[in-house]
Amino acid sequence: MQHALKALVSACALVVAGHALAQEQVVNLYSARHYNTDEELYTGFTKATGIKVNRVDSDDAGIIARLKAEGAASPADVILMVDAARLYRGEKDGLFQPIHSAALNNAIPANLRSKPEADGGISWFGFSTRARVVVYNKAKVQPADVATYEALSDPKNKGKICIRSGSHPYNLSMFGAVTEHMGEAKAEAWLKGIKDNLARAPKGGDTDQIKAVAAGECDIAVTNSYYLARLMRSANPADVQVTEKVGVVFPNQDSYGTHMNIAGGAVAKHAKHKDNAVKFLEYLASPAAQNYFANGNNEWPTAKGVTVDNPALKAMTQGKPFKSETIPISAVGANMVKVQQMLDRVGFQ
């Protein structure tokens, strides 16, 4: 009798444990956002929903390669990427599934998400933006000399420019946007002009370009805005000294506006927890998460009606709104192949 009672208790415990395991809510995230501060985002989502976030980190290219290799066996539910071109590539490679979410459609402007499918489904949404700005040495360059992206190819700036690899996704997206604005023939001539104006061969990341301008290695550089904001908010006096030597321009304020790249998200094609994945994306469009993008990683939020209270971003824009381009991000992604071909033809590394 005693043995039978113990067996019954053990069986009941197994049933309860199995039921609890079945009830555990999770979402599996593949993320190219390598920002330690994003932990607060994931913690906030779990607190709000009870859904645990399991995260795998890689870069955009690594995530796309992994999704292709895993196929239908992939555990991924949500994909986060930090470049419009790669989001477009993932969509075209069939790695995402379109979703229908009134909350996301209402929050995220149409030009910052994929084109709708025939049934109205959206493959990916942009949740934060970063401006591709020009920084210059205040002792050597006048802001008017770098007021536009077109000025980067002007002969007056010969030998003055530092930039990371032309084939880096951040530059490919900017080049794709400029191509959309000026047309392929003019864009190719523009790219050749930038190459001819380089002070050194492309190398390093965006922070390296800013520091090179401050150190006098070059006079002009291109960077994503959040790299400059990080230096401005740094507790390291050396970083602050760098920012004191450089000025910043948001190009093309008198024409089509400054190029804005995005960080965005999608639901994986073979998501096993699709409902939780959609909830996660909807959370990223919430005011709490959007404010976090602005204050945690110095990005601009994309959701309508969210204001920015980041001192570095305010200082960069002198507290005033700036004009950003409004072309669809999907169009920028569609230009990637032709941009890479142009870079190859003009010999821009």
Note whether 187 and 150 are within 8 A (CB).
no
Interhelix angle 169-182/84-92, rounded to 10 degrees, is 90
Q: Is 34 annotated as a binding residue?
A: yes
For the chain, the straight-line distance linking the first and the last C-alpha, in angstroms and rounded, comes to 80
Note whether 111 and 328 are within 8 A (CB).
yes
Q: Which residue in the block uniquely carries the two structure tokens 């009672």?
A: 5
Q: What is the pTM of this model?
A: 0.86
* pLDDT at site 217: 97
* pLDDT at site 4: 44
Interhelix angle 287-297/39-49, rounded to 10 degrees, is 160
Collapse the DSSP code of 111 into the 3-class scheme (helix H, G, I; strand E, B; otherwise coil) and give the result.
helix
CATH of range 26-124+270-316; options 3.30.465.10, 2.40.160.40, 3.30.450.40, 3.40.190.10: 3.40.190.10
* pLDDT at site 36: 72
- Per DSSP, what are the bridge partners of residue 340? none
Q: Indicate the residue type of 347.
A: G
Give the burial class of 79: count Cβ atoms within 10 A of its Cβ; 0-12 exposed, 13-18 middle, 19 or more buried: buried
Which residues, given as ranges, of the chain have pLDDT below 70? 1-23
Residues of the chain with CATH 3.40.190.10: 26-124+270-316, 129-259+322-346
Of 111, 107, 114, residue with least CA distance to 289: 107
Of 232, 248, 249, residue with least CA distance to 240: 232
Phi, psi of 97 (to 5 degrees): -120, 135
Q: Is 227 annotated as a binding residue?
A: yes
* pLDDT at site 247: 98
Of 108, 90, 87, residue with least CA distance to 284: 108
Of 50, 110, 90, residue with least CA distance to 326: 110
Euclidean distance between CA atoms 312 and 318, whole angstroms: 10
CATH of range 129-259+322-346; options 3.40.190.10, 3.50.50.60, 3.40.50.620, 3.40.50.2300: 3.40.190.10
